[in-house]
Structure 1
C-alpha cells in the first residue's frame, strides 16, 4: 500500500465533503488571526525599540524637578560622553491680545544628541531642513502656536518678561515621548532665554533633564555610576521610557485585538476537533474493509494522518497570507497609533501562526484517528466499535496547553489569556458535567413520555458521549460568539462613554485663595456651570504608622525611602465626584476628626490600609491622619483627582492654592486670556486636543478590533456547524431504521427538533451565563472598565443560538426525508 499516493488520492476525492472542508477553513482562520495580530505587535515593538534613543534625544538621561548637579556633567565629560541640558514647563504665550498655552522647552546648543530636529522657514513646511537648538533670542514654534497666536515666521512673541522671535516652524523633534498625549504644542527656545524670562522661580512646574550619548559600554558604565548617586526626586531616563504614552495607548488596543485573536484560535481548535471526530467516524467502515483486504493498521493510520498533514500545508500558507493582508489593514485602521516608519515583518509571528495551525491539526485532529486503531476487521459484519483510548485524551490536553502557550506568545498578554481561556475551560467542564447529568435524568424520564419527545430524548441518551461533545462545542462557540458580538462592543462602548461631550477640557492652576471669587465669577460668565475650585497643597509624606515611608515592590520596582518626595494633596467636606468608595466610610460634613481618604493605587504602593496613620508635613507643621476610607479615582474622567484627601475640618491653616477643571466649547480658550492677564500667576492648560486624540484612539481601535473579530466570528460559525453536524451520520441511520419500521415524517421531524432544542437550550443557558461572568471579570480586571452584563443582548444571542440549533435539526430532517430508507442505511 503506497501511503502517500493513497492519502493524496483520498484527499482529492473527499476534500469537498463537509468534514475536511470545515477542518481546512478552521485552520486558515486560526492561523490568519494569530499571524495578523502577532505580526502587528511585533512590528510596533521593533519600531518603538529601534527608535527609542531618537525619541528621547539621547541614550541616557537624568530627570528631576531641579537642575541635576554639575558633578553628573563632569563625570560624563570625563567618560567621553556628549551631554545636553533641557528644561520643560508649561507657559502662556502672548502676542497682542492673543494668547496660547504652550510647552516651552529650553535647550542648549548640543540638543539633540540623538535623532533629528526638523524645521522649516515657511508655515507650510515646504522648505524643511535639519537644525540644532535655536540660538539665543530665537524660537522654533509648532504650527499650532502660530495658528493660536495669529503670527507667522519672523514675528516676536511674549515669553514671560522677555520676547523671542520665531525664526523657524518646528516640524518634528526628539524628546517627543509624549507626542500621542501632548497637552500643549511645543515652543523650542534657548536656555538663556528661559532664564531671562524669569519663569523658573519658586513654584514653577519645570522639569529638568540632563541627557548623555555615547558608546553602549560607556552608557552602561555611566548608568552604574549614576544609580547610587541619585537623590530623592531624581530618576534615570532610558530607551525603555520612550513613547510611554504610545505604549500605554497601544496596550489597551493590543488587549482588544488579543481578545479577538484568542477566541479565534480557541474556536478554530474546537471546530477542528469536532470536524476531525466526524472525519474519523465516517471512515470506520473503510478502515475495517482495508483491514479485511490485508492492509496493515499502521499504513491505514499513516494514510489518514497524512491526509490531514497534506491539508494543513496549504491551509497554513493561505492563513499566513490572509494574516499578512489583515495586518496591513490593521496598520491602516490604527493609523497614527502606530509609528509612521514600521520595520518589515519578521518571520517569528508567521512561524508562530503556522505552528499554531499545526498544533491545532495534530493536537485536535489526531486524537480521533487514534480511535481507529481498535477497529477490527469483523466491523464489516458487526457494528462494534472501540471506545476512545486514554492516550487520545492526553493528546487533547497537551494540544490545548501548547496552543494556549503559543497564543500567549503571539499576543504577548498572559493575563488576558489566563482569564479568557480559563473561563472557557471552566465552561467546558461545567457543560460536560451538565450534559452527563442531563442525559442521566433524561434516561430516567424518557420512559414516561410519548411520541416525538420520547424518540428525541432517547436519541440523546443513546449517544451520550457524542451528545456531551456536541453540548460542549455548542456552549463554547455560543459563549465565544457572545463575547465577540455583545461583550466586545460593550467594552468599546464603555471606553467611549468615559469621554462624554462635556468632559473637562481645561485646567486652571495656581489660583490664589484671595483670587478665588473673581476667578469663579469670570468662569461663570463664560458659561461654566460649576467651576469647582479645589484646594491644592504640596507637602511631604513624613511617616506611615510612625515609620519612614517605604514603597512596596510593585511590578518589580522598589523606589526606596520616600521621606523627601513632594506629595500633592487636597481636602474637602464631601465625597469627591469621579471616585468610588471601596473600603471604609467617608467622613461627614460636620466632622473635624483627623481623617484621610486614600486612593487604592497609592494605598497599594505604600501598603496602607484602613486604620493606619499617615503623617504629613503641611507647611511648617506636621499632622497625623487616620486612614478611614480607600477609594478608586477615575483618572480618565479628566476631573481633578488626588491620591490623598484630608478632612477639611482637621487641616487648619495649611498653605495652598486652588485648581479647577471645567469644560468650555471648542475654540473658546481665548476667552480666558483676560483672566490670565489680570492674574499672571494663573496658568491655563487646554487639553481639547488630547481629548480629541483619545477619542480618535478609541475609534481606530474599534475598527481594528472589528477586523480581527471577523475571523473569530467566522470560526464561531464553523464551530456551530461542526457541532450541529457531529451526529449527522448516526441520526441518519436511526431515522432510516425508524422509517423502515413505519415512523411518520412528522414523528421524525418532531424527534429531531426535540433533540436539537434540548441541546440548544442547555448550551444557550450555559453560554449566556459564562459570557456575562467572563465579560464582567475581563472588563474590570484587565480593561479597568465597569461593564454591567448587557442582559437583553445576551438573551437575544442565546435565543438566536437556540433558533440556529432548531434550524439545523429541521434542515437535517429534510435531507433525511428526501433519502430512501434503503439508501440511507447504506450511506450510514
Structure 2
C-alpha cells in the first residue's frame, strides 16, 4: 500500500494549499474548535489576571512606598556615611536626606515638646507633602521656612507669621502641615511635627553629644539599582533598611495580598489547563478512527504530524490573537469595580501580560496537547475496524511534562508556599478520587431502584475512569472554593485588624493624679475609649536564672501600646546585630491588671495567680518561656521576679493597648507608673484633641487618625481587588466544571443508543442519566467541601499565618452548586442526546 505523498504532477504549492484548506476545515468543522476555545480561555484569563495583578500590585507598591516617602529608606542612629550617598549618585538614584530629633519649641506664651524633621528641598521622593499657607499650597520645604502640625497652633498659642524658637534658632512660622507621606507607630515621631529645611539645622544647636537623633536617607530608582545599593552597604549597629514590606501593618497587608494574587493566578492556570487537557482528550477520541483510516490509505507518521502541526499553528495563532483581545477587554471590565479607588494614572503593563499569557499557554499546551496528539498519531490502522484496540504505551511522550515543570522550578524558585500548595493539591486530588471510588462501591452494595442501580453500575464499571472523573470534578469545585474562601478569610482578618471603631488616638504619660480627671473628660464627651492601663518601662533579664542577652540600641524605642508586629519591632530598633529576640534590645512596656483584657485570649495556664505574670505567646516561643518558669525583670535599677501563670494570644494589629507582659498587681503596683488610654475621635470632634492638650499639657497625645485613614484606604483598595480576582477565579472554575460535565455527557451518546437497542425506555434512560450525574455531583460536592476546608486551613495557618476559622456554609453550598451545574448541563444536553430515541 503506497503512502500519501505529493503526486509528481501536482506542484508543491498546490499541495500545500490543499493541505492548508483541509487544516482549516478540520479546525472549524471537526472537533478541534473546543481545543481552540480552551486555549483562548487560558490566554484570556492569564492575560487579564496578570495585567490586573501587575497593575494592582504596582498600585499597592506605590501606596506602600508613599508611606515611607521613597522606594528605599536607610535609617541610622549615626550620621549618614558619605560613601552611601556617593554610591547612590553614581548609580543614578534620586536622593534626599532627613535628620529627626525631639526638642522643645518656645513661643511667647507657651512651650511644647515637638518632633523636628530637618529635610531638604527634594523631600519627599514619594507620596504627598501638603503645606498650607496664606499664599496657597506648597509641596517642598525651602530654607528659612518653619511649618507646624495643625494642633501646635493652639498648644503654642501662635499663628502664621509669628516667631517660634527651635533650640537656638528663631524662625518665622510659614504655615500648616496638612499632610505628610511618612507615618509610623513610633511615639518619638508621633509628637507634634515641625518641618524645617536642612540648611537651618545647624543654627538650632539642638543636636549635642548624647542627643537622641535619627538620620535617614531616601532613595528612588529602579529596583535592581536599589537592591545593588542595599547589597553594597555594610550595616553598623543602629542601621536599618526600610521598604514598603517592612512597615508593619501595611507591609503585612501588602505581602499577604501578593501571596493571594500569585496563588489565585496559579489556581486559575491549573483549572484552565485541566479544561485544555479534557478538550484535547475529547478531540483525540473523536479523531482516532479518522487517523486510522488515513494510515490504512498509506499516511505516514511524518505526514500526520505535518497535517496536525498546521492545524496547531493555526489554532495557536488564532487563540493568541483572540485570547489577547478578549483578555484585554476582560481586564478592563475587571477594573471597572475598582475605578473609585484606583488612581487615574495606572501603572503601565505594556506587552508583558500578552507575552506571559502566550508563554504560559505554550508551556501547558505542550504536554496537554502533545501527549494526546502523540497517542492519536500512534493509533494503528486496524482501529478502523476495531476502535477499541489499545495503543502501545510510549513513555517518551511524557517527557513533554518537563517543559512546564522546569518553568515552574524557575518561576517559583524557593517559594515554599507555592510548592507546598501544589504538592498538597496533587496528593489531595488522588486521595479524593480514591475516596469517590470507595463511596460508589459502598453505595452499590445497597438495594436501589432499577434506574439508580443502572447508574451506579455505569459509574463503577471502570474504577480508573470513575476515579479520574470524580477527581477532576471534585478538584475543580475545590479550587474555586479555595479561591473564594481565602479571599473571605483575608478580608475578615483585615477587618479585625483595623475595624471601623478602632481607636485612633492614644494618651500617654498620664500622671496617676490626672487619670481620673482625664477619663472623666473623655466620658463627658461620650468618647469611645479603652480602660486605663498603668505603664512602666523595663527589661526582662533572666529565665529560670539563665541570663538573656540584653542589647540597647541608641535608637531603640517601644511602641506606646507595645502593639508592634515582628517587623514593626525590628523597624523600631534600628539595628541589624543578631540577638535572640528583638524585645531584648530595648525597654518594654509593662502593666498590671486584675482582669484579662477583653481583646486577649488565654491559651495556656490560668489568669490571675498571685506573684504571677501573663506572657504573650509569640515572645514566649521566641525566648523559650513556659508555664511555671521564673522570670527576672529590672525597672529603674530595681530587680524583681514573677512566675509565668498563663500564656496569651494577642492581636498586635488592632490598635488597642497590648503588652508582652501583664503582671498581677501585687508584683508591680508599688512601683511608680504613668497611665495610658486609647480612644476614638470621630469626624466633627477634632477640637477635642486641642482642648485635651490645653487642659492636660503634660499628657502626650499620639494622633493616629491620618494613619488609620490611609491604612483603611489601602485595605479597601486591596479588598476590592481581591474580590474581583476571586470572582474571575470562580468563573474559571465554573467553566472547567461545565466543560467536564458536557464532555462526559457527550461520551454517553453511544451508550444511550446501546441501552435503547437492548430495550430500555426513554424514561428509564433519562432517570439513569439523572441518577448517575446526581450521585457524582453530590459525592464531588461533599468531597470538594472537605478538600477546600482542609486546603484553606493549611494555607491560612502555615502560608498566611492567620487564625483558622470554619466555614459551615461550604458543606451545603458546594454540593448544592455541583447539583445546580449538573441540572443546567443535563437540561441543556439531554434532549439532544435522546433525539435518536424519539419516535
When normalised by structure 2's length, the TM-score is 0.79
Partner SS for 2:747:
helix
Deviation at 1:407, TM superposition (A): 6.7
Deviation at 1:733, TM superposition (A): 0.4
CA, structure 1 residues 441+241, in 2 after alignment: closer, same or farther (shift >3 Å)?
Answer: closer
After TM superposition, list the pairs within 5 Å mapping 1:13-28 onto structure 2. Answer: 13-14=28-29, 19-28=34-43
Deviation at 1:801, TM superposition (A): 0.8
Which residue number corresponds to residue 702 of structure 2?
685
Which residue number corresponds to residue 587 of structure 1?
607
My pick for the range that moved more, 4-13 or 771-780, is 4-13
Contact (CA 8 Å) 2:542, 2:633: kept in 1 or not? yes
Which residue number corresponds to residue 62 of structure 1?
76
After TM superposition, list the pairs within 5 Å mapping 1:383-532 onto structure 2. Answer: 383-386=387-390, 389=393, 391=395, 394=398, 398=402, 401=405, 405=409, 408=412, 414-418=415-419, 420-438=421-439, 440-441=441-442, 445=445, 451-485=450-484, 488-489=487-488, 491-528=490-527, 531-532=530-531
After TM superposition, list the pairs within 5 Å mapping 1:198-237 onto structure 2. Answer: 208-209=214-215, 211=217, 227-228=235-236, 230=237, 234-237=238-241
Which residue number corresponds to residue 825 of structure 1?
none
Deviation at 1:268, TM superposition (A): 0.7
1:577 paired to 2:598: yes
Unaligned ranges ≥5, structure 1: 823-828
Which residue number corresponds to residue 706 of structure 1?
723
Contact (CA 8 Å) 1:572, 1:646: kept in 2 or not? yes
Contact (CA 8 Å) 1:125, 1:171: kept in 2 or not? no
Match of 1:622 among 623, 639, 657: 639
- Report the Cα distance in structure 2 between the residues aligned to 1:491 and 1:213, rounded to whole angstroms: 32
- Report the Cα distance in structure 2 between the residues aligned to 1:504 and 1:119, rounded to whole angstroms: 25
Deviation at 1:762, TM superposition (A): 1.0
Which residue number corresponds to residue 252 of structure 1?
256
My pick for the range that moved more, 526-535 or 727-736, is 526-535
1:166 paired to 2:179: no
Which residue number corresponds to residue 362 of structure 1?
366
- Report the Cα distance in structure 1 between the residues aligned to 2:323 and 2:152, rounded to whole angstroms: 48
Which residue number corresponds to residue 265 of structure 1?
269
Match of 2:27 among 12, 34, 37: 12
- Report the Cα distance in structure 2 between the residues aligned to 1:150 and 1:380, rounded to whole angstroms: 99
Which residue number corresponds to residue 36 of structure 1?
51
- Say how many residue pairs are matched: 791
Deviation at 1:46, TM superposition (A): 8.4
CA, structure 1 residues 256+149, in 2 after alignment: closer, same or farther (shift >3 Å)?
Answer: farther
Which residue number corresponds to residue 767 of structure 2?
750
1:816 paired to 2:836: no
- Report the Cα distance in structure 2 between the residues aligned to 1:791 and 1:214, rounded to whole angstroms: 48
Match of 2:754 among 715, 734, 737: 737
> Residue by residue, what CA displacement relative to the aligned partner does 1:323-374 show, whole Å, maximum 9, x if unpaired?
5666677778768988997764366665433322112212223322233244
Deviation at 1:736, TM superposition (A): 1.0
Deviation at 1:734, TM superposition (A): 1.0
Contact (CA 8 Å) 2:412, 2:418: kept in 1 or not? yes
Deviation at 1:129, TM superposition (A): 6.7
Deviation at 1:147, TM superposition (A): 12
Partner SS for 1:536:
strand
- Report the Cα distance in structure 2 between the residues aligned to 1:765 and 1:218, rounded to whole angstroms: 50
Partner SS for 1:537:
strand
CA, structure 1 residues 406+286, in 2 after alignment: closer, same or farther (shift >3 Å)?
Answer: farther
Contact (CA 8 Å) 1:330, 1:707: kept in 2 or not? yes
Unaligned ranges ≥5, structure 2: 6-14, 90-94, 552-565, 571-575
Deviation at 1:716, TM superposition (A): 1.2
- Report the Cα distance in structure 2 between the residues aligned to 1:84 and 1:726, rounded to whole angstroms: 65
Deviation at 1:659, TM superposition (A): 0.8
CA, structure 1 residues 158+420, in 2 after alignment: closer, same or farther (shift >3 Å)?
Answer: farther
Deviation at 1:458, TM superposition (A): 2.6
- Report the Cα distance in structure 1 between the residues aligned to 2:106 and 2:742, rounded to whole angstroms: 71
Contact (CA 8 Å) 1:79, 1:218: kept in 2 or not? no
Which residue number corresponds to residue 802 of structure 1?
819
1:560 paired to 2:573: no
Partner SS for 1:635:
coil
Which residue number corresponds to residue 826 of structure 1?
none
- Report the Cα distance in structure 1 between the residues aligned to 2:230 and 2:486, rounded to whole angstroms: 50
After TM superposition, list the pairs within 5 Å mapping 1:105-184 onto structure 2. Answer: 105-107=116-118, 122=133, 125=136, 128=138, 130-132=140-142, 134-135=143-144, 138-141=145-148, 154=161, 165-168=172-175
> Residue by residue, what CA displacement relative to the aligned partner does 1:102-138 show, whole Å, maximum 9, x if unpaired?
9843316788597899776756856x57544x42xx4
CA, structure 1 residues 403+574, in 2 after alignment: closer, same or farther (shift >3 Å)?
Answer: farther
Contact (CA 8 Å) 1:59, 1:214: kept in 2 or not? no
- Report the Cα distance in structure 1 between the residues aligned to 2:210 and 2:641, rounded to whole angstroms: 25
> Residue by residue, what CA displacement relative to the aligned partner does 1:208-241 show, whole Å, maximum 9, x if unpaired?
225499999999999989745x2xxx23346688
- Report the Cα distance in structure 2 between the residues aligned to 1:147 and 1:371, rounded to whole angstroms: 83
Deviation at 1:434, TM superposition (A): 1.9
Contact (CA 8 Å) 2:125, 2:218: kept in 1 or not? no
CA, structure 1 residues 355+17, in 2 after alignment: closer, same or farther (shift >3 Å)?
Answer: closer
CA, structure 1 residues 740+708, in 2 after alignment: closer, same or farther (shift >3 Å)?
Answer: same
Match of 2:736 among 703, 719, 722: 719
My pick for the range that moved more, 479-488 or 628-637, is 479-488
Deviation at 1:306, TM superposition (A): 5.0
Partner SS for 1:725:
helix
> Residue by residue, what CA displacement relative to the aligned partner does 1:173-225 show, whole Å, maximum 9, x if unpaired?
7867899xx97985413689999999999999x76225499999999999989
Deviation at 1:466, TM superposition (A): 3.2
- Report the Cα distance in structure 1 between the residues aligned to 2:800 and 2:241, rounded to whole angstroms: 28
> Residue by residue, what CA displacement relative to the aligned partner does 1:458-483 show, whole Å, maximum 9, x if unpaired?
32233444332221121112112223
- Report the Cα distance in structure 2 between the residues aligned to 1:210 and 1:622, rounded to whole angstroms: 36
Contact (CA 8 Å) 1:22, 1:275: kept in 2 or not? no
- Report the Cα distance in structure 1 between the residues aligned to 2:646 and 2:259, rounded to whole angstroms: 32
- Report the Cα distance in structure 2 between the residues aligned to 1:472 and 1:512, rounded to whole angstroms: 66
CA, structure 1 residues 109+638, in 2 after alignment: closer, same or farther (shift >3 Å)?
Answer: closer
- Report the Cα distance in structure 1 between the residues aligned to 2:168 and 2:525, rounded to whole angstroms: 28
CA, structure 1 residues 31+492, in 2 after alignment: closer, same or farther (shift >3 Å)?
Answer: same
When normalised by structure 1's length, the TM-score is 0.80
Partner SS for 2:787:
helix
